[in-house]
Amino acid sequence: MTKPPRRLPAGQARKEHVLSNIIKIGNQELAPKELRGQRVVTFRDIDLVHERPEGTAKRNFAANQERFIETEDYHRMSYSEFSTNFVPNQSKGGNPNNDVILITEQGYLMLVKSFTDDLAWKVQRDLVNTYFKVKKPLSAIEQLQLTQQAILEVKADVDTVNQDLQSFKMDMPILGIECDRITAAVKKKGVNCLGGKDSNAYQDSSLRGRVYSDIYGQLKREFGLTSYKAIKRCQTDKTVAIIEAYELPFTLEEEINDLNAQMVM
């Protein structure tokens, strides 16, 4: 017993529409049609993209209609509703009381089982991958999650850039402020090693110069550099610590002691 046709309620079809984006299917172009959030095609669409004589898909459907389930494999709509909502700019023509069958993806795959030529395989792939796949609109929560994720990713990138920048700055050779700090530490250590600014050793410019030169030489030996100014900014504290721990070589120490002893005598 044939089930009575189920038409969409009046007004519901008005909510459905033909989408404006044209999709290339095989050698043809097809305007997507969407019903209840689901892409559908007509018999005419199927004949067009498969390049079959008009009426082929309709005959296949009629020959196997008992195998198709309405609302799952196809939907039924009056021609007047269809022409109003899907082809409003085309000539209406035909009997407005006739039904139009709209085939779903599942119904389409069942309908074209007998189409096995090379073009059919390509068209089926195109329809399944580019036509029937409709991206579901994101919910407000999903949009918020994507926004938050994007913000976190941007923040992570900014943090990484900041870290890289700080690392770059610290790997740079010492700048003016670090250079002054190292120079001040060398002078202080040199004065102490020479016995103070009032000592004979300190007043001897040649001896004083050799002490300072040896302290700087110690820094170059420690860091393997030809100039203390090539020391990295991040090594400033270590450099000052090396200066503070500096000890005079035996020959310089003896010479300073001998010269300062003359003041006592």
Residue 58's pLDDT band, with cuts at 50, 70 and 90, is very high
pLDDT score at 11: 47
Q: Rounded distance, CA 127 to CA 170, Å?
A: 58
Give the Cα separation of 35 and 8 in Å (integer): 10
Nearest to 229 by CA among 167, 171, 179: 179
Predicted local distance difference test score (pLDDT) of residue 88: 55
Q: List, in sequence order, every residue forming a beta bridge with 103; answer none if it has no partner.
A: 41, 74
Report, as an integer, the average pLDDT of 29-43. 87
Phi and psi at residue 33, in whole multiples of 5°? -120, 135
pLDDT 10s digits, 143-167: 888 888 888 888 887 777 777 666 6
User: 208, 188 in Cβ contact below 8 A?
Assistant: no
Q: Residue 10's pLDDT is what?
A: 47
Domain boundaries defined on the chain: 13-131, 176-264
What is the per-residue pLDDT for 74? 93
Percent of the chain residues topping a pLDDT of 90:
31
Contact assessment for residue 39 and residue 132, using Cβ atoms and an 8 Å cutoff: yes
Q: What is the pTM of this model?
A: 0.45
Exposure b/e, 9-22, CB count within 10 A at least 16 = b: eeeebeebeeeeee
Rounded Cα distance between 100 and 79, Å, is 6
By percentage, how much of the chain surpasses pLDDT 70? 81
Q: What pLDDT sits at residue 187?
A: 92
Which tens digit of pLDDT belongs to each residue from 164-221?
Answer: 666 665 567 777 788 888 889 999 998 999 999 999 989 999 999 999 999 999 888 8
Is the CATH number 3.10.260 carried by domain 13-131? Answer: yes
Q: For position 126, what pLDDT does the model report?
A: 87
